[in-house]
Amino acid sequence: MASYTTIEDWQDVEDGYVIDVTIRQTEDKKYPCGWDYSLHHGEVGGDTILRYDNAHEQTKGHERHTRNGVEIIEFPGMLTLYDRFQRETEEMSPVSWKWSE
């Protein structure tokens, strides 16, 4: 069984919006990039505003979800993707988030 090391796992809810971040390093063959991640920004109990994930990495690759649909993206590395998610979320959200350092 492949091991997983949790790097980030937190959630923040403010004014009807949620940020949910899970980042784990792994040697699981399901994740050839070495990461199992979900970076989610949305409405509580509602729509996804922005999400990056690789839940189906072997079949679909890395995905960027918005209200307009899903696009396949190139994986730039975990830190670069997390920075991109943070930047885009700040641009899209009416809430000021407390980001993990």
Whether the full predicted model's pTM is greater than 0.75, yes or no, is yes
DSSP character string of 3-23: -EEEEEEEEEEETTEEEEEEE
Would you call 52 exposed, middle or buried from its count of C-beta atoms within 10 A (0-12, 13-18, 19+)?
buried
Q: Where are the domains of the chain?
A: 4-91
Question: Residue 46 carries which side chain, given as an amino acid letter?
Answer: G
Per-residue pLDDT, averaged over 74-99, amounts to: 93
pLDDT digits (tens, 9 = 90+) for 7-43: 999 999 999 999 999 999 999 999 999 999 999 999 9
